[in-house]
Amino acid sequence: MARLPILAICGSLRADSLHRGLLRAVERRAPGLQLLGEDLVGELPLMDPDLDTPNRMPSAAREFRLLAEACAGAVIASPEYVHSASGVTKNALDWLAGSTGLYGKPVLLMSASPGQTGGIRGLAALVPTLLALDATLVDPVTVSRAPSRIRADGEVLEAGLDLRLDIAVEQLRDALAVSAVAAR
């Protein structure tokens, strides 16, 4: 059976990103979902409305927007930078303004941080943008003390996080099923 396409955004461009690890961990738990678009995110230019026209839109932005529109939902793993959202993620979402890329679609938000708050302020800062894009948010995942709990290759090192990710993927699948029924 064909896998369901899901837009993936990693808000860290770091090679050994733990957020990329979170995306890999979701992927492993959800063989029916195909995470797409991760590589395009780092290629997106800074949002410039002058480029947001059919003739001038950069190819990465065009591809990213079309991909979002073709996807059934999104998984966003995004760090907290200086108590707010990663600019990488915000820029990617800004390129979806004016499109139906996330309209009515389930979005799973995740963050990881070496500190105790797990990057929750970074996710909180993204919420108004996602609601403005008419996304439907499922329960977010925040991972405190992340370097001792997950690796960049997606291996989960702690049973509690293992279970939390299982539940997150189940909730995402349920939300995808509901939105598929609503779209009929």
Ligand X SMILES: Cc1cc2nc3c(=O)[nH]c(=O)nc-3n(C[C@H](O)[C@H](O)[C@H](O)COP(=O)(O)O)c2cc1C
Q: Which backbone phi and psi does 73 adopt, to 5 degrees?
A: -175, -170
Neighbour-count burial of 129, counting CB atoms closer than 10 A to its CB (0-12 exposed, 13-18 middle, 19+ buried)? middle
Q: CB–CB of 67/37 below 8 Å?
A: yes
* Smallest separation, CB 76 to ligand X (Å): 12
Q: Is residue 116 a contact partner of residue 80, using CB atoms and an 8 Å limit?
A: no
With CB under 6 A as the contact rule, the residue among 6, 7, 9, 18 that binds ligand X is 18
Report the C-alpha gap between 64 and 177 in whole angstroms: 24
173 belongs to the binding site for ligand X (CB under 6 A)? no
Position 106 contacts ligand X (CB under 6 A)? no
User: Exposed, middle or buried by CB within 10 Å (0-12, 13-18, 19+), for 58?
Assistant: middle
CB of 60 to ligand X, least distance (A): 21
Our CB check for ligand X shows the closer of 17 and 171 to be 17
Residue 115 sits in the site that holds ligand X (CB under 6 A):
yes
Does residue number 136 form part of the binding site for ligand X (CB under 6 A)?
no
Between 99 and 129, name the residue whose CB sits nearer to ligand X. 129
Minimal distance in Å, beta carbon 24 to ligand X? 12
DSSP assignment letter at 156: B
Alpha-carbon distance 120 to 38, whole Å? Answer: 21
Using the rule CB under 6 A, which residue among 2, 82, 159, 183 binds ligand X? Answer: 82
The contact set with ligand X (CB under 6 A) reads 12, 14, 17-19, 79-83, 112-115, 117, 119, 146
